[in-house]
Amino acid sequence: MKWGGTGLSERRNFHEALEPVIYWNTSFVIARWDINDPFHHECVAFSQRLMAEGVVCVVSDFTYNEFAFHIIHRELLRESRRTGQWWRNVLRNQPHVFQAAMNEVEIVRAELERRTILLPVTETAHDLAFTLMRQYNLLPTDAYHVAVALDAGVSAFVSLDEDLLAVDGITVYMPT
């Protein structure tokens, strides 16, 4: 196993049986809303299937943080390439670029709020995240996503991040 887990997670494609509650990892959220993502259409279709079949979809603050950063950073990088500036200088010197990106962030946020339930980040989830980092060599944000979900009793995820497959006892839906 690549990351040290025993490989007891279950990988499912978007056409297989659904769990009643599924956590939306940020990679799925980004692909779902970014029309240029190679998995965009598959992710849109899967999110529609989840809604049609009454699956409870959940996220955490980590999902919101990462997708917001992705959108803002993408727009700052575009301007950076256009002007030859470092993206952080674009952030400091051209606030209109940030504000324009925030328009898209707020649209995605509203859609997420409409389609998902926000899970709380508890002290137990914080502790579990560090255990998951150590046990499965997960990066911190990946570990927090899994910890928040598991702490809430959710063991099914939709993600484009194969690192989650290292975690024993979870189900991960991924595009084919």
User: DSSP label at 176?
Assistant: -
CA distances from 154 to 113, 119, 163 (A): 18, 10, 18
Give the pLDDT confidence of 82-137 residue by residue, as tens digits.
999 999 999 999 999 999 999 999 999 999 999 999 999 999 999 999 999 999 99
pLDDT at 18 over 70: yes
Whether 176 and 11 have beta carbons less than 8 Å apart is answered as no
For residues 14-36, one letter each, b for 16 or more C-beta atoms within 10 angstroms of the residue's C-beta and e for the rest, the string is beeebbebbbbbbbbbbbbbbee
pTM, two decimal places: 0.91
The predicted pLDDT at position 6 comes to 54
Structure tokens at 161: 């991040």
- Which domains does the chain carry? 10-167 (3.40.50.1010)
- Work out the average pLDDT over 148-169: 96
Whether 144 and 60 have beta carbons less than 8 Å apart is answered as yes
- Work out the average pLDDT over 145-151: 98
The predicted pLDDT at position 7 comes to 57
- Torsion of the alpha carbons at 51, 113, 108 and 45, rounded to the nearest 10: -10
pLDDT at 1 over 70: no
